[in-house]
Structure 1
Amino acid sequence: MTRLWTETGFVENDPFVIETEDRKAGEGEQPIRPLADFLAHAEASNESGLAVLVKPADDVRKLQPYLDRIALVAVEFPAFNDGRAFSHASLLRDRLHYKGDIRAVGDVLIDPLPLMLRCGITSFAVKNATALKRLAEGRLPGIDVHYQPAARESANPGSYSWRRKAKPAA
């Protein structure tokens, strides 16, 4: 069973659905389309509130013309040792200035979750039993020291400046 988690807790009644051969978005649901399908749909319509699935080999920069119409970007972690979704999330936040929801899907484990948050991922489709249990107990692992900037603002504004993310020029 997959459950959606954010920093405020588990979310019920999420309208977004990753479509497969067996599962299609129904009444009141919004499809999360693979990148190629998303681009074709976005080009053919002026619809907003769209959702897209970015797989590891996809070029996230192709989303740039449509970012103001996207409600959700799902970045796929197909295996625990494939971290390309971290790069996708960082590119979306830092270079493309995407402000919407970035969701981790696939092999979402508890240990890398704080690092996913630092990259700007805001929601998590979790199916791992250990991760679900620890999140339900409020036991999110912590990482005390960071040596690189992150998409999120520093919790300690008096910390080392080279560890904080610089604010983009307005």
Structure 2
Amino acid sequence: MTRIWKEAGFAAQDPWIIETEELKAGEGQKPLLPLDAFLTAVEESNAVDFGVVIAPADDVTKLAPSLDRIALVAVKFPAFNDGRGFSHASLLRDRLNYQGEVRAVGDVLIDQIPLMLRTGFDSFAVSNAVALQRLEEGRLPGIDNHYQPAARGNGPVEGYSWRRRSA
């Protein structure tokens, strides 16, 4: 079972469906389209409520002309050791200045969620049993201070002026 988690807790309902050949969005649901299908749909429609799925090998900068028409960018994590999704989120937030929702989908583990939050993810499609249990219990791991800048700051850090801080 996959549930959508945000910092406020688990979402009761989520309208977004990752469309495949077998699965299509029904009434009351919104499609998350693969990048190529999304680019085609944007050219053919005036809609402003699109959702797109970014695979690890996709070029996220292709979204730049259409960012104002995207409600949700879902970034795929096909395996826990594939970190390209972190780069996609960072590019969306830092270089493209995307302000909408960025969701991690796929192999989302509890240990990665704090780092995903720092790189710009807002929501998570979680199916891992351990991650679901810990999120239910409010047991999110983390590190209080960070040396590297990120899309999301961690608050003021005292001392050592040579350390880099998130803005």
For Structure 1 versus Structure 2, the TM-score category normalised by the shorter chain is over 0.9
Asked if 1 retains the 8 angstrom alpha-carbon contact of 2:157 and 2:165, the reply is no
- Residues in 2 aligned to 1:15 and 1:102: alpha-carbon distance in whole angstroms: 15
In 2, distance between residues paired with 1:141 and 1:110? 7
**Deviation for aligned residue 1:108:** 0.3
Match of 2:164 in 1: 162
Question: What is the deviation of 1:22?
Answer: 2.6
- Report the CA distance between 1:155 and its aligned residue: 2.1
1:44-97 Cα deviation digits (max 9, x unpaired): 111101000000000000000000000000001100100000000000000000
Unaligned runs of 5+ in 1: 166-170
Q: Percent of aligned pairs with the same residue?
A: 64
Provide the alpha-carbon RMSD of the alignment. Answer: 1.3
Structure 2 residue 150 is the aligned partner of structure 1 residue 147? no
CA distance in 2, matches of 1:47, 1:157: 43
Amino acid corresponding to residue 112 of structure 2 in structure 1: P
Secondary structure of the corresponding residue to residue 85 of structure 2: helix
2-structure distance, mates of 1:153, 1:164:
5
Bigger mean CA deviation after superposition, 141-150 or 53-62: 141-150
1:164 CA displacement: 1.5
| TM-score, normalised by the number of residues in structure 1 | 0.93
| 1:121 maps onto 2:121 in alignment | yes
Query: Is the contact made by 2:145 and 2:157 (CA closer than 8 Å) also made in structure 1?
Result: no
Give the deviation of 1:156 after TM superposition: 2.2
Taking the aligned partners of 2:151 and 2:158, their CA distance within structure 1 comes to 17
Written as runs of structure 1 = structure 2, the 5 A alignment for 1:49-128 is 49-128=49-128
TM-score normalised by L of structure 2: 0.95
